[in-house]
Structure formats: structure tokens, C-alpha cells
Structure 1
Amino acid sequence: MSEDKELQQQDDSPPLKEIKFNYIKSNLFRVVRVDGIWAGITPNLDINVNLCSERYPIPQQTLHKIDPDGSIGEEIIDERISRDGIVREVEVGAVMDISTAKSLIELLQELIEQVEKVTENEEPE
């Protein structure tokens, strides 16, 4: 995968022939599932992409019977308090300039083509 940013040298030294990138995960790094995207343009004309995971809502409250031995029994479903619909939990937002957004599009297109190439060679069972 190539980087799209042009390196601007500060002096008149010969042009670089190679550059090494070291990838270091930040303390906040995590892998998230992406089921949806909410995006827009910032006031600075950058692109803001928010990645969402989808799930059914977790109940806000449940009511359970108490068994004769004092243990928690079955839930009384009619008393469950929960949200309607599907929850789209916004996992992470990314703001990028237009150049980076174009590189992201190119990278995603390359990856899509690779996956399609592999899956079209698979025979259905």
C-alpha cells in the first residue's frame, strides 16, 4: 500500500528514494465492527466520517421473579423497559483532508477488488 502524501524536503538535498514508516498503536487503539457510516463536511472543508456498529438495544431495566429458594428466577418479559428499533452506536469518528479521503477510496476499491477476485473463484456448495 502506498502513501499519497508528498514529502516536502526542507533543504536542497537529493530527493529521497525510500522512506520507512513505523506503525505504533496509540493507547486508544481498538478494532471496531463497522455496520454503518454517518459522514459530513466540517467547517474547514475536511471530511468527517463516523463509524457505527449496529445491535438490538440492551434493556434499560428488567424485572425477575424470586424463586422459593431466594435465587433470581425468570424474567417477566412484559415488564422489560427497552428502546425501540436498532441502536447505532457511534464507535469512532475520523476527520481527514480531501487528499486522504481520496487515498482511502482508492485503498478500499483495491481491497474490494481483491476480495471479489477471491470470492468469484470459490464454487458455491
Structure 2
Amino acid sequence: MNKSQLPNKIRYEYQEESNLAMQYAHGVWGGINPQGEIEINFYTEQDKIPTNSERYLKPDGSFGPEITLTEEDTRIVTRKINAKVLINRHTARALLGWLAEKLENLEAEELRNFEMEFNKNGRKQ
């Protein structure tokens, strides 16, 4: 191929890192960093596990109820950051478009499944 010629196509080949692990996310937190990049922190949520608990022993030697010291009017939820991703503006736009396309496909599939189930149930009546 001549240096001034452009190829007809580009092939992207994907490789996974040996330590790659699937992560689940309940949400995302982040913002724009001082370098103008978007920082995305994917997290999962769970109720905070108490640092300790206690049980009283009854006179017969059996256990009483488990007691934890918590604030009664406050529910504490722990957000564990599973992955941090930095992207630039161009990648953010591409990600936005990619997510919009995937959501449209997912919603169209859900609608098809609903219509199939509706038609199937309608025939049974």
C-alpha cells in the first residue's frame, strides 16, 4: 500500500487483561477533574455492617438477642468503589451515543417480549 493511500477499513482486535474481572454497578459518582477529564467511579451499595455486636448471656447459659450500636434514625449505606474510569470529552460523547443505542435496543426487545406475551395470553382467553 502506498503511504498516501488510506486503507479501505480498520480492524480492531480486542484483548482482555489477565486480571480483568466483571464488575456490577448500582450507580456512578464523579465529575470533571482539574485536567478537564471526566472521572467516573462505579460503585455498589450495601447496608453498613456494624463494626461489632454483643449478646447477653441468660442465666441458663443461652444467648439473648444480638445487639448492635447504631443510630436509630439514620440508615448508613456503604458505597464501595469497584472501578474508576477517566475519559475525555470525545470518549464521553461516544459513550453517550453507545449507551443511548444499547438502551433503545433493550427497550425495543422488552416491548417485543411484552407484545409476544400479550398476544400469547390473548389467544388463551
TM-score of the pair, normalised by structure 2: 0.71
Note the residue ranges of structure 1 that are not aligned, 5 or more in a row: 1-10, 67-72
Higher helix share: 2
Residues 1:40 and 2:49 aligned together = no
Percent identity among equivalent residues? Answer: 20
Q: Does 1:97 align with 2:103?
A: no
What are structure 2's unaligned runs of at least 5 residues?
Answer: none
Give the paired residue count: 110
| TM norm structure 1 | 0.71
In structure 2, the partner of 1:59 is 50
Partner AA of 2:66 in structure 1: I
Q: Secondary structure in 2 aligned to 1:103? A: helix
Extract structure 1 runs of 4+ deviating beyond 3 A: 62-66, 73-76, 81-84
Instruction: Tell me by how many angstroms 1:65 deviates.
Output: 7.4
Maintained 8 Å contact 1:60/1:81:
no
List aligned pairs for 1:49-88, cutoff 5 A: 49-63=40-54, 76-78=65-67, 80=68, 84-88=75-79
Larger Rg: 2
